[in-house]
């Protein structure tokens, strides 16, 4: 690994700088990334300007583009809002809860040989403030939800490599559709979706723990 990074970043900016160091080579260690993200303690003064809420759906708000190797974004979840069941387009996904509680429901991939069947749920995890979750497509699919009807929630997500579409699934039938993913805002400013805008990314090889 080239360069030094702060194992215990005190601010969001220090976390971003540490992530740039961790992603400065073609090989990245999953446990190192997860550890640095866990060690940053959430501070609303750091991330509040990026947390843009919408009454109708959760929002994806770009914080940093990671020199093409990753996207770092904040997802703002209003009361009762959640995602569909979705894949991650062969990317690595880290999710850190900044505020509130989020539930992750895990599902196995539907069988390609069966046309219509309810999806198999394989796990449920509840994540509190400062906890970090990790998933990739080899582990399965997931849905993330803010189950609270009185409190909003906020989370920090890192995707490597970046992607601009993923597969979404109907839990009742397993039916799959490709969905475009867009940013509600970039760097704290509202950014309307512009058709035709893809994301270019570098290829990064991840080192996985042997027991994963």
Asked if residue 60 lies in contact with residue 81, where contact means CB atoms within 8 angstroms, the answer is no
- State pLDDT tens for residues 108-121: 999 888 778 999 99
- State pLDDT tens for residues 123-148: 999 999 999 999 999 999 999 999 99
What residue segments make up the domains of the chain, in order of their start?
50-194
pLDDT at 156: 98
Average pLDDT over residues 69-75: 98
Distances (CA, A) of 14 to 18, 23, 86, 104, 179: 6, 14, 30, 27, 33
In total, the chain counts a number of residues equal to: 212
- Domain 50-194: which CATH number of 3.10.580.10, 2.60.120.10, 3.40.50.2300, 3.40.50.150: 2.60.120.10
pLDDT at 197: 36
Is pTM beyond 0.75 here? yes
Q: How far apart are CA 62 and CA 74, in angstroms?
A: 7
Q: How far apart are CA 58 and CA 62, in angstroms?
A: 13
pLDDT confidence tier of residue 202, bands split at 50, 70 and 90: very low
The pair of structure tokens assigned to 110 is 């539907």
The pair of structure tokens assigned to 82 is 């959640």
Inform me whether the pLDDT recorded for 198 exceeds 50: no
Question: Residue 48's closest CA among 74, 66, 72?
Answer: 74
Distances (CA, A) of 94 to 33, 34, 70, 150, 159: 8, 7, 11, 26, 7
- C-alpha 40: how far from chain center: 16
């Amino acid at each position: 690994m080239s360069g030094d990074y702060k194992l215990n970043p005190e601010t969001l900016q220090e976390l971003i700088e540490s992530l740039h160091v961790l992603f400065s080579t073609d090989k990245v260690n999953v446990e190192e990334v997860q550890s640095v993200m866990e060690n940053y303690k959430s501070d609303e003064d750091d991330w509040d300007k990026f947390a843009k809420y919408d009454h109708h759906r959760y929002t994806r708000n770009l914080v940093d583009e990671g020199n093409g190797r990753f996207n770092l974004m904040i997802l703002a979840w209003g009361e009762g809002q959640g995602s569909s069941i979705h894949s991650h387009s062969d990317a690595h996904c880290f999710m850190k809860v900044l505020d509130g509680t989020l539930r992750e429901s895990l599902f196995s991939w539907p069988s390609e040989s069966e046309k219509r069947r309810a999806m198999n749920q394989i796990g449920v995890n509840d994540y509190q403030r400062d906890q970090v979750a990790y998933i990739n497509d080899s582990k399965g699919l997931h849905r993330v939800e803010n189950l609270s009807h009185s409190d909003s929630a906020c989370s920090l997500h890192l995707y490597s490599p970046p992607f601009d579409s993923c597969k979404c699934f109907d839990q009742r039938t397993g039916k799959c559709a490709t969905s475009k993913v867009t940013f509600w805002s970039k760097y704290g400013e509202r950014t309307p979706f512009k058709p035709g805008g893809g994301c270019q990314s570098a290829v990064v090889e991840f080192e996985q723990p042997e027991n994963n």
